[in-house]
Structure 1
């Protein structure tokens, strides 16, 4: 009789039962799927408003010795980015920059300088019009203050050079963050409550009375969480793609790579849930311990806004968090067309975190 017992079949039975219990839990469904979708819907509809972003850069060959350059550079309505030419062009193609300005001496009989603009197809044309209007206002102000007798200090070139570009929408930033939010919160909270309750309700003890071994018990329960969360990932990405034009640059191949990345992240994040379920003395302190692991990552890992928005001294901490590397890899795969292999550094950091977390989990995990 013992030889006919199938550990795999028993594990799948545990998985099936656990999946059913997850779907019967309104809170599990809401926090794994509903909560992230609310954010995606909100940011998706906000993104359709086409908010103004006047991030600019100066071309490398621009004349920086004139007053018009200084006035534009320190204009309160502009955010000037300084980076290499390759990065500037990449940001321009993605619509992260409104335009690249090139100020050159002469170019018109009645102007001392000419300001040339280069933009991309990814930039909202309305933003270019606003930029041109602000630049003209700066020139008029300088003319009135310093050059009352001259025709004009500078001329804004009416011909705007346009390069090809892919539209970088707000959903392309926010959806990866919300997917990471869903995976992390469900992994830690879900696993922590699950295994704590299995111990408290003596379910694990009943499992011990059967021939199934302990590793298969854990794998069965863990597999149910993985299947449920991957399903929510499919729904989140599907809604973002169909309704808000979330970018999957290589189509189905990109989708598959996102799912594989999500699977890796899930396995890593669940280690935190095992730790919390073991160190918690009662059910009421599980949210406290779980939030200690999740809340800093929600706030600092680039979930809602770029890491560059934080003070410089805080950014190294942000870049050390596992959710940060999931978000970066997710955005690179979805929009940049990067492969899992090319994201090896981010995945490597995730795996290092996995080794550390599971090392701790093995030390503190309790069966009874």
Structure 2
């Protein structure tokens, strides 16, 4: 019994000691971190004007000496990232790339070799932010070893900046699969020239990657993409055709009604729905006959959208009243009545 009590007392004292040590560590770490943040803020406040003059080319060099202490590096990163994300002046962006390549190359190279995942990720982020092409080969070497999905994703973004051929090879190989959202994030940053290279090998890409790329073209809303999208509307994959129609609609440039006729009569309701959306950006006189057909569609979404487009067109309410009066399709009459009776 005494031995049990002694053991319990020893255990309580031990746990109490561990708790005290942990509390002291947190207190010490908190104070240290607080001082670190103070030093960083102090550096930014004291030197942000100097950096502005340097990056805008009004001064050829910084007027303060760099020590490359960790707080100073993080402060510099914070300022430079703010410029890269908000500045459109090419000279500023060039000066950022020049400075980081000349002064932070070895720092980020060491970070890439760190055993800590968070430090490696920070380096990859910054190499992308500052477009540090000189470190790209170091990043590619990482792929020879086992890397996390997050690291691979960031390296893929760098590939899209610096080596489009290698980037396309990695996409085709699909060593790691990402979500459509992640692929869109990658594709959104690639240049027009890189898009052209990618489109040459589009058929070799996995389906998920193809769909994400088509969606990205819709988000970018560039007229030049319509030629590529028209070709994809001939695909044997229904989802590619549907996404291509959707992307064309988001770009917002009218497509000749003749090119939509096969989709208007498609057995796939999603294609018919997208054809209605595309008809909505055509003049009423070109689209009305097809919309009158589509308001009698068997699918509720299709006829509802067709009715909505008719109402928004020239003499829309009069056309809907005519459909109510003369259409033999009960569904068309119902949806037309519903829109006519809506307030507003």
What TM-score does the superposition give when structure 1 sets the normalisation length? 0.21
- Whose strand fraction is larger, Structure 1's or Structure 2's? 1
**Greater relative contact order (CA < 8 Å, ≥ 6 in sequence):** 1
Structure with greater helix share of residues: 2
TM-score with structure 2 length normalisation? Answer: 0.22
